[in-house]
């Protein structure tokens, strides 16, 4: 990482991922509270969705590293 601008880009990407994963986690909690018997399915799908959000954020961070 060379310039400060790349660091700013990486920081922005983290904000996006933070909001995204926070939403996923919160909604999963609500869903589990509503239907505790479906906890296994909800957890798996929560992880998949979180991984996809994280993937987008990490791609940005890598681009920030190379830029």
Partner 1 sequence: MKGFVRQLLILLLSFASTFVLAQHEDDSSGHDQEPAGHVETTDHQTGEADHGAPHTAEKYNPSPLVMGHIGDAHEFHIWGSISLPLPCITYEEGQGLSFFSSSVFHHGTMASHGYVLDHGVLRKIVDFPTRDAVELEVLHSDDEGHAHYVHTEEVKDQAGKISEHKSISYQGQTYNLEAASKIFSASSWIDFSITKNVFTMFLASILLFIIFFGMKRFYANNEGKAPRGLTNFMEPFFEFMRDEVVKPSIGPKWEKYMGLIMSLFFFILICNLLGLIPFFPGSGNVMGNISVTIVLALITFIVVNFSGNKHYWQHIFWMPNVPVPIKILFIPIELAGLFIKPFTLLIRLFANITAGHTIILSLVSLIFIFGEVGQNVGGASVGAVVAFIFVAFMNLLELLVAVLQAFIFALLSALYIGAAVEEHHHEEAH
List interacting residues with partner 1 (CB under 8 A). Answer: 2, 40, 44, 47-48, 51-52, 54-56, 58-59, 61-62
| Closest distance of CB 34 from partner 1, Å | 21
- Pick 19 or 59: Cβ nearer partner 1: 59
Torsion sign (Cα): 11, 2, 56, 54: negative
- Pick 36 or 40: Cβ nearer partner 1: 40
CA dist 12 to 22, 31, 64, Å? Answer: 15, 29, 10
The Cα 21–Cα 39 span in angstroms is 18
| Closest distance of CB 10 from partner 1, Å | 11
| Closest distance of CB 55 from partner 1, Å | 3
Locate 6 and state its tokens. Answer: 């790349």
């Amino acid at each position: 990482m060379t310039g400060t601008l790349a660091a700013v880009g990486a920081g922005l990407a983290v904000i996006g991922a933070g909001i995204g994963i926070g939403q996923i986690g919160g909604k999963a909690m609500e869903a589990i509270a509503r239907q505790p018997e479906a906890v296994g399915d909800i957890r798996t799908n929560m992880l998949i969705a979180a991984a996809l959000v994280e993937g987008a954020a990490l791609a940005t961070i890598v681009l920030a590293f190379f830029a």
